[in-house]
Structure 1
Amino acid sequence: MTAAVYAARKRMKALILTKEFGGQPMWTMDIENYMGYQFVTGPELMEKFDEQVRKFPIEIKYEEVTGLAVNPDRTFTITSDGGEYQAQAVIVASGKRPRRLEVPGEAEFTGRGVSYCATCDGPLFAGKTVAVIGGGNSALQAAIEVSGVAEKVYLISLEGYKADPILLEKLKELDQPVTELMSYTTKEIKGSQAVEKLIIVKNETNKEIELEVQGIFVEIGLMPNSEYCEGLLDFNEYREVVTDCRTRTKIPGLFAAGDVTNGPDKQIVIAAGDGSKAALVAYEYLLHKLRV
């Protein structure tokens, strides 16, 4: 959204192709590190972004991009589930999506007790027993959020916590303590019409434990939405698009910004900054290209 605003301010004709607006911030309840806001929720911040985008003549199509190709004349063809589009320059800013456990029962019970968004679905489990799986910032934040509505919360980590100190402090200060289960691997999710049980295994002993839960929040990291760039752009070991410090990829006219890239820090303010940078560098590229 930031890239589109900067493109429009430079009088470039901009098209946003997106499956949905907002991305990861839509799953985040507490944002305390975005400049200008002492505190704001993710959906509130994205609503402000959306309002600003719509003040400009930016075309928006809610379509999922499925392919990206370079044409002989150095233009680009973007394929989506709604058609094909031509562009002089492209900014890949498709972010990330939740990583799955890939265990039996996960796919079957997604939407029936298995969730990847505590902010979205937490209120549905008021008074119930839930498990949060993960050891990073998103997992701890999810456990903190749902502890305010659920009757009991298990926090299950594979190795230990890799979270910011402030979240570790908040976890310890909860009025309703979270049951922490360290060094466990998730084996299976069971139930009939909805989630009823979670099977986990202690890493050191291989001892199986069966937890009776009605909800499971999977918070084990994110996968970049980069499949449509497969074979075209270079990826790192995490399948993130490789860029230089000016958001340029190995292909002239093709830029990438935000969490889909190999940038070292994943923050909303950094992703927004990447978007503005990409649009300005794209403008510079097009000025040179159109003069040649």
Structure 2
Amino acid sequence: MLDAAIKGQLKAYLEKLQRPIQLVASLDESSKSEELNNLLLDIATLSGKVSVSNLGNAAYRPSFSIAALGEAPRIEFAGIPMGHEFTSLVLALLQTGGHPPKVDAKTIEQIRAIEGKFHFEVFVSLSCHNCPDVVQAVNLLAAINPNFSATMIDGALFQNEVEQRKVMAVPSVYLNGEHFGQGRMTLEEIIAKIDTGAAERDAKALGEKDPFDVLVIGGGPAGAAAAIYSARKGIRTGVVAERFGGQVLDTVGIENFISVKATEGPKLAMALEQHVKEYDVDVMNLQKAAEVIPGNNPGDLVEVKLASGASVKSKSVILATGARWREMNVPGEQEYRGKGVAYCPHCDGPLFKGKRVAVIGGGNSGVEAAIDLAGIVAQVTLIEFDSKLRADAVLQRKLFSLPNVTVITEALTSEVVGNGEKVTALKYKSRNTDEIATVELDGIFVQIGLLPNTDFLKGTVQLTNRGEIEINARGETSVPGVFAAGDCTNVPYKQIIIAMGAGASASLGAFDYLIRTSSPC
């Protein structure tokens, strides 16, 4: 099951086990059960502290649970956790075996103090790059606090369960049988939803912070670069981030980040956060900026009001709020979001195996999505507003070579149709004839670009007609002391490496502003 290289790495990890653990399998006569059994036996051969039992009686088959010897299991995998979920398996083995997690002491103390009974179920696809974050978060809760338990469910393997619960996007999370959340969630976000008093405590603590020299709003590549460059100047630096990593977290393959041949978005986001934390930077995660209030004169403090009700102040601010997926803005889109309307083909594609889907958008992202989906689904219909596709020629050649792809150009998507529970069709209007056509399908993947996250800045800084922040070469906005960088600005090319450079430029611009208007702390 496992090749020699992986066995060698896993053996080294399992040497960190501090107590014996048992893998309890629930199997049937299927080939997948045999595959799972071989995986568990492989693991057991790598450590004397791991044993395997096939006497499980769980509802999901094949599945297995992990438990410290003599304790009831609290972590379960329904399916075979390979692909992106293999790391989730390794961490579950280590944490159940007593190896301390890489979480700060304050968070561990908060987890241990939570009372009640919490059983999480996380529906995943093994190709989903966001799913492991959620699986690992709920598994960690179960490893630390006996009041928690967690089950990962491979949606592609347990299609009946997916149909019954109407799961059409992953990760999809249930708590005690009720829908809890959908999409990528961090450990902090999950704790915040459970520990309802945490938000109020955090808001009070934020309001008591001393003013910063530089406050960065946003934790993506631009924000991370700005924070590092500021901290290296020895000035008081803070970062307010709704989620550290930003849009990079939703990016699968990255092959144009110079000096790094290939990486993945979540891996790069983790590296960014770790690099920032190497410096004396106050990272305020899970905080969304709601308003920026500049001072009346150059050198005055800038106030940033947060959605939590807290307020922080700084001598200068760098806006690095990034962008989000552009939506179709047609009837039915919001109603069926997560019920057939999706934005990540890599994550949600496996849930539509053998079904019919549409891809909206004929740029590189849309054509790449259609190519990927064509290997999974029965039929792909790509719909493009323009008279021709805008994707690179090499991608178009690949697309048109696929027998189960239909391309429709000069088409305006007009409505998402459903039966109240899930998507059943898509309507579009021909730009040539104005006729309305209907495509019967099961899923719609929207790939039509990005929108800058600048709604809260209207009336504060100068924006373009597309909502982008206008900046000069130094990253300066129309407001003294307020700078900007990255995908939220009018920089023409939205690339990770360009955002990082822009973040560095904005930071240097902010430092120059500080030394000309005041003395940094």
TM-score (norm 2): 0.53
Q: d(CA) in 1 for partners of 2:383 and 2:424?
A: 17
1:154-193 pair list within 5 angstroms: 154-159=381-386, 160-172=388-400, 177-192=404-419, 193=421
Match of 1:66 in 2: 290
Q: Deviations over 1:65-99 (max 9, x none)?
A: 11001123521000111210101110000011122
Which residue, 431, 445, 451 being the options, matches 1:203? 431
The answer (yes or no) to whether the contact 1:27–1:119 under 8 Å persists in 2 is: no
Match of 2:270 in 1: 47
Mapping for residues 62-211 of structure 1, pairs under 5 Å: 62-72=286-296, 74-82=300-308, 83-159=310-386, 160-172=388-400, 177-192=404-419, 193-211=421-439
Q: Structure 2: how far apart are the matches of 1:133 and 1:231?
A: 33
Q: 1:223 aligns with which of 445, 451, 457?
A: 451
Share of identical aligned residues, percent?
Answer: 37
The one-letter code sitting in structure 2 at the alignment partner of 1:71 is G
1:34 deviates by 0.9
When normalised by structure 1's length, the TM-score is: 0.93
* Superposed displacement of residue 145, structure 1: 2.8
> 3-state DSSP class of the match of 2:476?
coil
**Matches of 1:51 and 1:169, distance apart in 2:** 40
Give 1:103 deviation, angstroms.
1.2
Going from structure 1 to structure 2, the CA distance change for 1:257 and 1:173 (only over 3 Å counts) comes to farther
Task: Give me the whole-angstrom Cα distance separating, in 2, the residues matched to 1:122 and 1:9.
Answer: 43
Cα distance in 1 for residues equivalent to 2:347 and 2:249:
8
Q: Give how far 1:36 is off.
A: 1.7
Separation of aligned partners in 2, 1:286 and 1:170: 53
The answer to whether residue 255 in structure 2 is matched with residue 26 in structure 1 is no
Q: Give the aligned partner of residue 39 of structure 2.
A: none
Partner Cα distance (2:401, 2:229) in 1? 42
Q: Distance in 2 between matches of 1:268 and 1:16?
A: 19
- Cα distance in 2 for partners of 1:149, 1:51 equals 36
- Counterpart of 2:513, as a letter, is Y
The answer to which of 240-249 and 127-136 deviates more is: 127-136
Letter in 2 for 1:131: A
Shift of 1:241: 0.5
* Distance across 2 between alignment mates of 1:261 and 1:224: 8
Partner Cα distance (2:506, 2:371) in 1: 35
Partner of 1:12: 235
Q: Contact conserved, 1:18 with 1:64, CA < 8 A, in 2?
A: yes
* Distance apart, 1:184 and its partner CA: 1.0
Residue-pair matches, total? 291
The residue number in structure 2 matching 1:212 is 440
* 2:430 partner letter: K
- For the 8 Å contact 1:28–1:119, the answer to whether it is kept is no
Distance 1:126 1:16 in 2: 41
Which runs of 5 or more residues in structure 2 are unaligned? Answer: 1-223
Shift of 1:102: 1.5
Change (3 A) 1:261 1:126: same
Deviation at 1:291, TM superposition (A): 4.5
Cα pair 1:171 1:178 within 8 Å, conserved: yes
Partner of 2:501: helix, strand, or coil? Answer: helix
Residue pair 1:196, 1:214 contacting (<8 A) in 2 also:
yes
Which amino acid letter does the alignment assign opposite residue 139 of structure 1?
G
Shifted more, 224-233 versus 7-16: the winner is 7-16
Q: 1:171 offset after TM fit, Å? A: 2.9
Tell me, yes or no, if structure 1 residue 276 matches structure 2 residue 501: no
Aligned mates of 1:12, 1:144 — CA distance in 2: 48
Higher relative contact order (CA 8 A, sep 6+): 1
- Pairwise CA distance, 1:50: 2.1
What's the C-alpha RMSD, in Å, of the aligned pairs? 1.9
Deviations 1:47-66 (A, max 9, x none): 22222122222222211111
Distance 1:7 1:215, change over 3 A: same
Q: Post-superposition shift, 1:118? A: 2.3
| SS of equivalent residue, structure 1 residue 162 | coil
AA at the equivalent of 2:312: Y
Q: Which residue of 2 aligns with 1:238?
A: 466
Between stretches 47-56 and 228-237, larger displacement belongs to: 47-56
Residue type at the aligned position of 2:272: F
Helix, strand or coil at the partner of 1:89: strand
My pick for the range that moved more, 135-144 or 80-89, is: 135-144
Render the CA deviation track for 1:233-280: whole Å, top value 9, x for unaligned. Answer: 111121100000111112221100001101111111101111111112
SS at match of 1:127: coil
